[in-house]
Amino acid sequence: MTNNNLIEVTKNYVQATLKDAEGGHDWFHTLRVYHNAILISKGENVDALVVALGALLHDIADSKFHDGDDTIGPKMAREFLFKHNVDSLVIEHVIKIIENISFNKSLEEGEKFTSPELDVVQDADRLDAIGAIGIARCFNYGGFKNRALFDPSIKPNMNMTKEEYKTSTAPTINHFYEKLLLLSDKMNTKTGRRIASDRHKFMEQYLNQFYAEWDGKR
* % of the chain beyond a pLDDT of 90: 82
What pLDDT is recorded for position 87? 97
- List the alpha helices (DSSP H) in the chain: 3-17, 27-41, 48-57, 72-83, 88-100, 116-127, 131-144, 162-167, 172-178, 190-214
Which amino acid is residue 177, in one-letter code? Answer: Y
Closest CA to 51 of 18, 103, 12, 96: 96
Residue 199: is its pLDDT beyond 90? yes
Q: How far apart are CA 204 and CA 216, in angstroms?
A: 18
Helix (H, G, I), strand (E, B) or coil at 200: helix
For residue range 165-182, list pLDDT tens digits in order: 888 899 999 999 999 999
Can you list the domains of the chain with their CATH numbers? 3-214 (1.10.3210.50)
pLDDT band at 112 (very low <50, low <70, confident <90, very high): confident
pLDDT band at 65 (very low <50, low <70, confident <90, very high): low
What pLDDT is recorded for position 26? 95
Burial 200-214 (b: 16+ CB within 10 A, else e): beebeeebeebeeee
| Model-wide pTM > 0.75 | yes
For residue range 10-55, list pLDDT tens digits in order: 999 999 999 998 888 999 999 999 999 999 999 899 999 999 999 9
- Contact of 208 with 138, CB cutoff 8 Å: no
Q: For residues 110 and 201, which has the higher predicted lDDT (pLDDT)?
A: 201
Sign for the pseudo-dihedral over CA of 151, 69, 10, 189: positive
CA–CA distances in Å: residue 163 to residues 105, 112, 143, 185, 198: 10, 17, 21, 23, 31
For residue range 4-14, list pLDDT tens digits in order: 999 999 999 99
